[in-house]
Amino acid sequence: MCHKEWTLQPDREPDAEPTTYAMQYAVCGENSPTSVDSAKPQNRMLVHGGRNPSHHSHREIITRLWRAWWKP
């Protein structure tokens, strides 16, 4: 058994999956489509809020690939 020091950071390798964004409407639970452009779900949130004036609370959902490795 040996001790190793691990490091964790967002995966920025060229073949890493892209970071994606979505919004979830807290009042009704509806989700926006997922996008690699964070502005698209935010714009959808504004349209949804305009059509549903009581829907003021939203959650941002960010999916980002992380990478862990140990230092020799």
pLDDT, tens digit, 9 for 90 and up, residues 9-59 = 999 999 999 999 999 988 888 899 999 999 999 999 889 888 888 888 899
DSSP E strands in the chain: the ranges are 5-10, 20-25, 58-63, 66-71
The single-letter code of the amino acid at 20 is T
Distance of CA 71 to the CA centre of its chain: 28
Q: Say if residues 24 and 61 touch (Cβ distance below 8 Å).
A: yes
More reliable by pLDDT, 32 or 2: 32
Q: Is the pLDDT of residue 72 over 80?
A: no
User: For residue 13, which phi and psi values (nearest 5 degrees)?
Assistant: -65, 150
